[in-house]
Amino acid sequence: MAKKMHPTPILDKLESGPWPSFVTGLKRLAEDKDYVVDLLGTLESSYRNKKGYWKGGTVGVYGYGGGVIPRFTELKNDDGTPVFPDAAELHTLRIQPPPGMHYTTDVLRKMCDIWERHGTGLIAFHGQSGDIMFQGAKTEGVQAAFDELNELGFDLGGAGPAVRTSMSCVGAARCEQSCFDEARAHRQVINTFTDDIHRPALPYKFKFKFSGCANDCMNSIQRSDMAVIGTWRDNMRSDEGLARKWFAKHGMNELVNNVVTRCPTKAIMLKEVKELRSDAHLTTVKVSDTHALEIDNKDCVRCMHCINVMTGALAHGTDTGATILIGGKRTLKIGDLMGTVIVPFLPLKTDEDFENLVELGRKAIDFFAENALEHERTGEMIERIGLVNFLDGIGIEADPHMVASPRTNPYVRMDGWDDEVAKINARKQANA
Ligand code: SF4
């Protein structure tokens, strides 16, 4: 039985309404924890005075330079003692999630037990950084909790100017759109840079994120310095049985308005069956006895829309891998940046392929460590020094896929075009 609750009239209001309230959860934990009783007192003071009362400091675990977010109360009496002494410290442990965020219930229960023993019992799955946030421990509880979590197979996440905790989507385990083994890529990359996670020594943070397809469930294009996004380079696959089933259920309006017209590059055409062409770069699938879809794979930009709508009837190809983008972040000091493509297609199937991915990450981090200014993210560094210099630094040839933004000027210089056309024709003749 914990000590008597402090009055919390403002927090109580957050329990009204139809949604579950974190205040109710905290009150439940407060039933047998003085720590949480005082935490609620601190929180009520913050709501009343519209002021946060936590300041940072230095708390860590042996052998690590980051991963614990220290918080000490600033809510003091005139004699300097804390107003809520049982919640005078509220440190957070960042713990790295497993790839794809797959847990067993047994592990989740053990995590809850550990945190109730050494901290408040309050856990967030997952914070903005991707970590499991074990919120609220006193200094003496931090090492003890970490030791037990480490015993369970988990490690601290990154904090400060370091390689940060990474995230990967649920992936091949549960999603048919997955184009590579995200869990393997995540694990292999992060295990390689463990030292850079635990000992912050970079100009600023560096994040990896892994999404199995262009749906990009990890938002990696906006939220990581190096985004690995699954894609394919052969033809899209199709299944006539499922396509007919889909069409019988959804009909022509849906097919036209939600599939064909929404293709951003007009790669899909609705055709009468008798007009269907056959060509190596076309994917065709009948949706009925009279109508069919014809997809020109040369024009498809692998946006995933048609596959999302007609999953199974349409599917990604089998020659799969990932597109690598660098420098995304929302929001930077220079504004929002989406990642820039630096490798349009990296196969990710063999051991060697995964080693190539790790090697690319290593080159990007080494270049970033040597060339970025303090507090400058990769995207900002590339804006400052130019993409060409970055590519040169990590040994990658420039490619038209790397254009940062589509051209807006309709005037095109045409001198030299005749020579280019002659070259293309010569190549075609040689290949004929
Ligand atoms: Fe068009 Fe390709 Fe996107 Fe399908 S995946 S909507 S064909 S660009």
Q: Which domain CATH number covers 242?
A: 3.30.70
Mutate to test the pocket of ligand 1, among 233, 236, 263 (most ligand atoms within 8 A of CB): 263
Do 16 and 123 share a structural domain? Answer: yes
* Inside any domain, residue 396: yes
Taking only the tens place, the pLDDT of each residue in 22-67 is: 999 999 999 989 999 999 999 999 999 999 999 999 898 998 988 9
- CATH code for the domain in which residue 87 is found: 3.30.70.2500
The confidence score (pLDDT) of residue 411 equals: 65
CA of 305 to the centre of ligand 1 (A): 6
Do 179 and 107 share a structural domain? Answer: no
Identify the residue whose C-alpha is closest to ligand 1 atom 2. 300
Tell which of 285, 315, 345 closes a domain: 315
306 close to ligand 1 (CB < 6 Angstrom): yes
Do 222 and 358 share a structural domain? Answer: yes
Q: What is the pTM of this model?
A: 0.88
183 close to ligand 1 (CB < 6 Angstrom): no
The confidence score (pLDDT) of residue 89 equals: 96
* Inside any domain, residue 411: no
Do 23 and 44 share a structural domain? Answer: yes
CA of 328 to the centre of ligand 1 (A): 23
Do 346 and 327 share a structural domain? Answer: yes
CA of 260 to the centre of ligand 1 (A): 9
Tell which of 268, 300, 315 closes a domain: 315
- Domain containing 177 equals 167-233+319-405
Percent of the chain with pLDDT over 70: 97
The rounded distance, in Å, linking the Cα atoms of 78 and 86 is 18
Taking only the tens place, the pLDDT of each residue in 97-135 is: 999 999 999 999 999 999 999 999 999 998 888 999 999
282 close to ligand 1 (CB < 6 Angstrom): no
Higher per-residue confidence, 1 vs 316: 316
Atom nearest to 303 CA in ligand 1: 3
How are beta strands 226-232 and 167-168 bridged, if at all?
Answer: unpaired
* Inside any domain, residue 416: no
The confidence score (pLDDT) of residue 404 equals: 61
Do 191 and 114 share a structural domain? Answer: no
Do 72 and 203 share a structural domain? Answer: no
Identify the band that residue 400 occupies on the pLDDT scale cut at 50, 70 and 90.
confident
Identify the residue whose C-alpha is closest to ligand 1 atom 3. 303
Identify the residue whose C-alpha is closest to ligand 1 atom 1. 263
* Inside any domain, residue 156: no
The confidence score (pLDDT) of residue 127 equals: 87
Mutate to test the pocket of ligand 1, among 234, 258, 303 (most ligand atoms within 8 A of CB): 303
19 has pLDDT over 70: yes
Taking only the tens place, the pLDDT of each residue in 207-253 is: 999 999 999 999 999 899 999 999 999 999 999 999 999 999 999 99
Average pLDDT of the chain is 93
CA of 416 to the centre of ligand 1 (A): 33
* Inside any domain, residue 189: yes
Q: How many domains, the chain?
A: 3
Tell which of 315, 344, 365 closes a domain: 315
Do 387 and 297 share a structural domain? Answer: no
* Inside any domain, residue 412: no
**Residue length of the chain:** 432
Do 341 and 193 share a structural domain? Answer: yes
Identify the band that residue 424 occupies on the pLDDT scale cut at 50, 70 and 90.
confident
CA of 313 to the centre of ligand 1 (A): 13
406 has pLDDT over 70: no
Identify the band that residue 260 occupies on the pLDDT scale cut at 50, 70 and 90.
very high
Percent of the chain with pLDDT over 90: 81
Do 131 and 17 share a structural domain? Answer: yes
Identify the band that residue 405 occupies on the pLDDT scale cut at 50, 70 and 90.
low
* Inside any domain, residue 419: no
CA of 214 to the centre of ligand 1 (A): 11
Do 215 and 123 share a structural domain? Answer: no
